[in-house]
Structure 1
Amino acid sequence: MTVIESKSIINQPVEKVYNFLADCNNHEKLMPENVYNWSSTKDEASFTVQNMSKLALRVSERKENQEISIVPSEKAPFDLTLSWKVKSIDPSTSEAVFTIQADLNMMMKMLASGPLKKLTDYQTTKLKEELES
């Protein structure tokens, strides 16, 4: 299992960070430009990644002010789990950690690790920008 992770310190209370991430409609704001055909509800999102494939994801678990786990709701190119873990540093500051766990064979790992790392870094940066603006 390949694990790719990125974290960000956000100047907002943990409840605000959690509530933003718990709603899949907000995740479109965290996506890079190569994501299009976005469609979402509070619990699900589907989109197309340019030069790759269409993905459909759903929230599999929510632990209030702690964690949101997201899994494919349709067949994906490989098994994966996305998770956001949030914790309070102090009443007005939170840490958000975005983790992608992907079941990649050696070839897929070589091809996908770089783009997946860029994605996790991009999303944690965008989350900070979105919530602090």
Structure 2
Amino acid sequence: MKINSKKVTVQKSSQALCEYLSDVKNFEALMPDNISKFELIRDDAFVFALKGMPEIALEVKEVEAPHKVMLGALSDKIPFQLTANIETINANTSQVELVFEGDFNPMMAMMIKSPITKFLETLAGNLEQIQ
């Protein structure tokens, strides 16, 4: 299953945005309002939960500065990755698209598609607001 967010423009250089997304503590500011837990578990990993959903632990898996930051699930039970693809617009502006990819059975994919899509759109929308 693959879900793409809309592309959003961020008022940061691609390098600065890559650094921002590589620092997992910054994800707390990007989370939706219905977050019930956010906790750093390592310098490169965090766990979060949205109300009514199970906890999800993510870690930085790969950084290709300044164009890509990939986070992946810490658990093999729900294998997925969240990738930020960053494009340079000019020295102070970049564009980012979030891509969620996971290997789920058809029933699970049907259940999580809508919440994951909404979650990605919220993350992308909040990225537009960062300074």
Instruction: Please give the alpha-carbon distance, in whole angstroms, between the structure 2 residues aligned to 1:22 and 1:122.
Output: 18
Q: Does 1:92 align with 2:92?
A: yes
Q: CA deviation at 1:75?
A: 4.3
Q: Does 1:5 align with 2:26?
A: no
- List gaps (5 residues or longer) in structure 1: none
**Counterpart amino acid of residue 61 in structure 2:** S
TM-score, L = length of structure 2: 0.90
SS in 2 for 1:107: helix
Instruction: Please give the alpha-carbon distance, in whole angstroms, between the structure 2 residues aligned to 1:36 and 1:42.
Output: 21
Partner of 1:47: 48
TM-score, L = length of structure 1: 0.89
**Counterpart amino acid of residue 62 in structure 1:** V
Instruction: Please give the alpha-carbon distance, in whole angstroms, between the structure 1 residues aligned to 2:102 and 2:116.
Output: 9
Residue range with higher mean Cα deviation, 8-17 or 56-65: 8-17
The percentage of counterpart residues that share the same residue type is: 23
Partner of 1:58: 59
Partner of 2:108: 108
Task: Provide the alpha-carbon RMSD of the alignment.
Answer: 1.4
Partner of 1:71: 72
Instruction: Please give the alpha-carbon distance, in whole angstroms, between the structure 1 residues aligned to 2:104 and 2:21.
Output: 26
- List gaps (5 residues or longer) in structure 2: none
Instruction: Please give the alpha-carbon distance, in whole angstroms, between the structure 2 residues aligned to 1:122 and 1:109.
Output: 19
Instruction: Please give the alpha-carbon distance, in whole angstroms, between the structure 1 residues aligned to 2:50 and 2:120.
Output: 15
Q: CA deviation at 1:115?
A: 0.9
Q: Size of the alignment, in residue pairs? A: 129
**Counterpart amino acid of residue 17 in structure 1:** L
**8 A Cα contact 1:22 1:42, kept in partner:** no
Instruction: Please give the alpha-carbon distance, in whole angstroms, between the structure 1 residues aligned to 2:8 and 2:16.
Output: 14
Q: CA deviation at 1:16?
A: 1.8
Moved over 4 A (4+): none
Partner of 1:20: 20
**8 A Cα contact 1:67 1:86, kept in partner:** yes
User: Aligned pair in 2 of structure 1 residues 75, 54: CA closer, same or farther (>3 Å)?
Assistant: farther
Q: For residues 100-132 of structure 1, what are the alpha-carbon distances to aligned partners after superposition, in whole Å with 9 as ceiling and x for unaligned? A: 00112221122111111111111011011123x
